[in-house]
């Protein structure tokens, strides 16, 4: 008995474009939500808002950069199934580093207060380095997209 191959239709350019935009927006909102939820749980909504407003010049580029990476990944996935991008992880880690020092209330119980203090002390350099990695990730992914065209 022969198996019949299912006909797989390729998505149209419009469908791919919509997926690229949709996934990028979802990725950016997911990263921003991760920050907001983590910060709110650790220190409350006012602290989350205050932290975001204090570091907006790093947070907004990180969120937008992550959204761009998700969009580029969507393009790459459509063109070459299975390509992985790792720099998105660094964006998440950087955003968490921003609010991780607020875990100082809980970390002493776990014996980790030194970690929270260290993260708080180097918050801006960590976020700046993460932004650099984010930009490099976008450049690498963009290069892959251009080569596939």
Checking if the pLDDT of 53 tops 90, the result is yes
Instruction: Answer whether 96's CB lies under 8 Å from 35's CB.
Output: yes
Within a domain: 82: yes
Does residue 41 fall inside a structural domain? Answer: yes
In a domain, 66, yes or no: yes
Overall domain count for the chain: 1
Domain membership flag for residue 103: yes
What is the domain range of residue 75?
A: 16-148
- Residues 29 and 27: their CA atoms lie apart, in Å, by 5
- Under a CB-based contact definition with an 8 Å cutoff, are residues 111 and 42 in contact? no
Average pLDDT score over residue span 33-46: 87
Is 28 within the bounds of a domain?
yes
Residue 3 lies in a domain: no
Query: Is 5 a member of any domain?
Result: no
Span 60-80, pLDDT tens digits: 998 999 899 889 888 888 876
- Using a cut of 0.85, tell me whether the model's pTM lies above it: no
Q: Does residue 2 form part of some domain?
A: no
């Amino acid at each position: 008995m022969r198996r019949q191959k299912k006909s797989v239709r390729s998505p149209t350019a419009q469908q791919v474009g919509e997926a690229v935009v949709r996934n990028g927006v979802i990725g950016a909102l997911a990263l921003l939500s991760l920050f907001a939820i983590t910060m709110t749980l650790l220190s409350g909504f006012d602290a989350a808002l205050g932290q975001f407003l204090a570091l907006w010049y790093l947070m907004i580029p990180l969120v937008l950069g992550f959204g761009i990476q998700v969009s580029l990944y969507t393009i790459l996935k459509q063109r070459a199934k299975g390509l992985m991008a790792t720099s998105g992880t660094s964006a998440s880690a950087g955003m968490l580093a921003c609010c991780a020092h607020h875990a100082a209330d809980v970390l002493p119980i776990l014996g980790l207060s030194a970690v929270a203090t260290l993260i708080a002390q180097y918050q801006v350099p960590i976020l700046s380095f993460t932004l650099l990695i984010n930009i490099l990730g976008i450049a690498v992914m963009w290069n892959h997209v251009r080569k596939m065209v």
